[in-house]
Amino acid sequence: MSIAAFPGSFDPFSAGHHDIAQRALRMFDRLVIAIGVNVEKKGLYTAEQRKAYIEALFAASDRVEVCTYEGLTVDFCKSIGATHIVRGLRNAADFSFEYAAAQANKAMLPDVDTVLLPAAPELAFVSSTLIRDVLKSGGDAAPLLSK
Ligand code: ADP
């Protein structure tokens, strides 16, 4: 059985994240959306708020689980028996970061492969940072949050 971990900050979970998760669900038996918690970094939303939001989005799918984790993604992947790591690529900056991260994770956890999915063209501009900026300025972020 294939189990993909989709790790990220998800502060908040955007339409771009949602698209990657839905596409990953077509490729893998199970998808674990894993909210990485950095105790030194205070986000806009708490880990519990992010988890509740994502769980509500995927309430209809029994193949999706939402978790929070601290520490290394590879350690989390080991703990859930992940076969793959899924990440999204919006641009060249994402590529250089994600490629290096994939290599590092492969060196630490050789049995787990990273699958990098290019962003949907209409969602490549969406980022959690942009959504937080819109929300902080009192704007309507709905089009950036769900498709
Ligand atoms: P992190 O802080 O770990 O990068 P993010 O929540 O910002 O966490 O992103 C998680 C993953 O989703 C990353 O691989 C990122 O490149 C990808 N991603 C973010 N926004 C989009 C988008 N609009 N389309 C596709 N992938 C995206």
Residue with the smallest CA separation from ligand 1 atom 2 is: 9
Q: Which residues contact 108 (CB under 8 A, 6 or more apart)?
A: 72, 74
90 carries an active-site annotation: yes
Closest among 50, 54, 49, 44 to 20, alpha carbons compared: 54
Q: What is the pLDDT of residues 97-112, one digit of tens each?
A: 999 999 999 999 999 9
Kindly list the domain boundaries of the chain, sorted by start residue: 3-135
Give the count of alpha carbons within 13 A of 147, CB side only. Answer: 14
Say if domain 3-135 classifies as CATH 3.40.50.620.
Answer: yes
Model pTM above 0.95: yes
Residues flanking ligand 1, CB < 6 Å: 8-10, 14, 16-17, 20, 87-88, 90, 94, 98, 119, 123, 126-128
Ligand 1 centroid to 9 CA: how many Å? 8
Q: What is the pLDDT of residues 22-74, one digit of tens each?
A: 999 999 999 999 999 988 888 999 999 999 999 999 999 999 999 999 999 99
Cα gap 64→81, rounded to integer Å: 15
